[in-house]
Amino acid sequence: MRFTFFAALALLGTAFAAPTAPTTSTATIPAGQTCKKDGSMGVCQSGYCMQDEKASSGVCK
C-alpha cells in the first residue's frame, strides 16, 4: 500500500515538474528591427540579435 502511494506521488511530482510546451505568445522580431540580446523585446526570427556591449539595443540579422 505504501509503495503504491509513493509511486503515485512520484508520478504526480514528475508531471508537475516537467517543462511545459513553449507558448505561442512569444514575439518574433523580423530582420532589421531593434532587439535586445536578452530576449526581453522578443526573439529574432533568425535567432540572432547583433548588439554591441555598451548599446542598449541591437538589430536582428
pLDDT one-digit tens code per residue, 12-43: 777 777 676 655 556 789 999 999 988 888 89
pTM above 0.75, yes or no: no
> Residue 6: pLDDT band by 50, 70, 90 thresholds?
confident
Average pLDDT in the 1-19 region?
78
Is pLDDT above 90 for 3?
Answer: no
CA distances from 20 to 9, 12, 38, 44 (A): 19, 15, 21, 22
pLDDT number for residue 58: 94
CA distances from 6 to 11, 17, 18 (A): 9, 16, 18
Is pLDDT above 90 for 8?
Answer: no
